[in-house]
Structure 1
Amino acid sequence: MVDFGRVKKELQECNKDFDVSGIKVGPKGDTNLSHLLGTITGPVGTPYEGGTFKIDITLPDGYPFEPPKMRFATKVWHPNISSQSGAICLDILKDQWSPALTLKTTLLSVQALLSAPEPDDSQDAVVAQQYLKDYQTFIGTTHYWTNAFARTNAFARTYCVEEKGQKLVEMGFSEALVRSALESVGGDENLALEKLCSN
């Protein structure tokens, strides 16, 4: 059975210094403390900088004697994280887990993994190949994914609108109409095209 007393203490610990650590955790649904949603910020000086990444956390019945199950809910381009499922290849989430570890120390380790990929022990072979064979393309792809999926500020929305809007502008719609249509449908290119065609 999950030690919910410990989990409550861990949640307080996780959330008290978000400005410094970039880490916070809370219940995913109403108040179910065995299904949590964690947040980490992309480390400074990496292509993940400026991104805010959501991590789905499920605590097994044996927690803290069994590791939490974690996966990225935000799409991320990294050799040790599946670009499809968000599965994370990290030893402390498997055989190197210790009950002395906490949700915060585990999320700090996941955050550190973003800074120091291990392409030889990859979760995503395609990303690992790109990292090893064409590092500049890897950096470019990582920046793009971080901007497209992990940024919630106005800069990111503008960046995505400009990227997607270019195609629609090339179809003959004015830039102002394209921007307005994309923003009104949350950046969905197909819905924006339908909206533009129906006006």
Structure 2
Amino acid sequence: MELFEERSGDGTPTGTIVERGVAHSEGRCHGTAHIWIARANEKSGCEVLLQKRSAWKDSNPGCYDISSAGHLSAGDTYLEGALREIGEELGIHAEAEELRDLGLLEKVSHGVFYGKPFHDHEVSAVYLYTKPVEAEKLHLQESEVEAVRWMDLKECQKAVREGSIPNCIDIRELEMIEKAWFAGEKTKDEE
């Protein structure tokens, strides 16, 4: 049984513990960690690694999603959750200083999966990981991740806006990556 700690809209833990199924059936606010893996490319300057969610996931099965993401267990910090998820889902043993914190993002969404209502209210810490990653050498957690693929950041933004690929990506996260990535590029050019 997975236990989450409810959070306020600003991400602060409330001290109330709730079971995962209850959190999603009642839309209780909880924390998640989202880790985006990005690298430079020739096309737009940046591409992101997308994961294709397992067909067995309780929400958005078979959809493209964040490189690695997961719920915070009760008592976890955002960073602890991020480091655990990138290790479990992709087999990457990242260090805390390798994750660039891009900020918090609150998201509320509703859907129906397997005939049951699903109400998701989460506050996510969004991180950027830029160490070299070879997609074909990752150790994917089969129960979570069906496959991974690199996609140009601009093409990904367009696909998410148009809905031309099955996805559960919040466009605001791609905008956060774009801002962080190209702000970093400007800093390098100015040096």
Q: Same fold (TM over 0.5)?
A: no
- Return the index of the structure with the highest Cα Rg: 1
Which has the larger share of strand? 2
Flag the structure with more relative contact order, 1 or 2, with Cα contacts below 8 A and sequence separation at least 6. 2
Which has the larger share of helix? 1
Q: What is the TM-score of this pair, normalised by structure 2?
A: 0.30
